[in-house]
Structure 1
Amino acid sequence: MATYKQIQEYLKNKHGRTFKSCWIAHVKSDHGLTKGQSPNRYDPNKRVHPCPDLLRSNVEDALKHFKMIP
């Protein structure tokens, strides 16, 4: 499984912009790839920085590239 750093580097090289790790975590959790919530999360039902809808497909493409999702 690829690390957040590897996914960020792939996205930066392909799309020319930096993607926040929290955006990647949001997409990964939606696909069931995370083990649980962080204990230091302020509100367990809300994300401070959710992944923008416009960039979601880019993150999903990166996860497909690393064979993390089908």
Structure 2
Amino acid sequence: MPLDKIVERAKQHQPAPKATYKLIQEYVEMKYGFKVHNAYIAKVKRELGLPMYDAPNAAEGLKQTRKHPTQEKVNAIKDALNYYNLI
């Protein structure tokens, strides 16, 4: 079997890259021109019922109350999640 066909088959079987919070933040900043906080992304993911994982370094109690994202930021995050095929 030729080497180029092996490489081509290997590329077909590679898993899709995961959409990290950093990628979502970069997408929103490039497209909409503002930054979103990780907590806002997590809140939108929770509301949509997407899988969330417990952080090993999470604190039991919050020092400050969480702020709610504006509707503009929620829509931008949903657009980013849609762009990365998470919703």
TM range (shorter): 0.7 to 0.9
Runs of 5+ consecutive residues of structure 2 not aligned to the other structure: 1-17
Aligned length: 66
Give deviations 1:23-63, integer Å, cap 9, x for gaps: 111001111113366652536xxx61222223211110100
Superposition CA RMSD, Å: 2.0
- Residue matched to 1:42: 61
Runs of 5+ consecutive residues of structure 1 not aligned to the other structure: none
Q: Which has the larger radius of gyration?
A: 2
Of stretches 47-56 and 60-69 in structure 1, the one that deviates more from structure 2 is 47-56
Sequence identity percentage:
30
Paired AA for residue 66 in structure 2: V
TM superposition outliers: structure 1 runs of 4+ over 2 Å: 34-39
**Counterparts of 1:11 and 1:54 in 2: how far apart (Å)?**
11
- Residue matched to 1:23: 40
**Counterparts of 1:61 and 1:7 in 2: how far apart (Å)?**
9
Give deviations 1:2-37, integer Å, cap 9, x for gaps: 000000001111011111111111001111113366
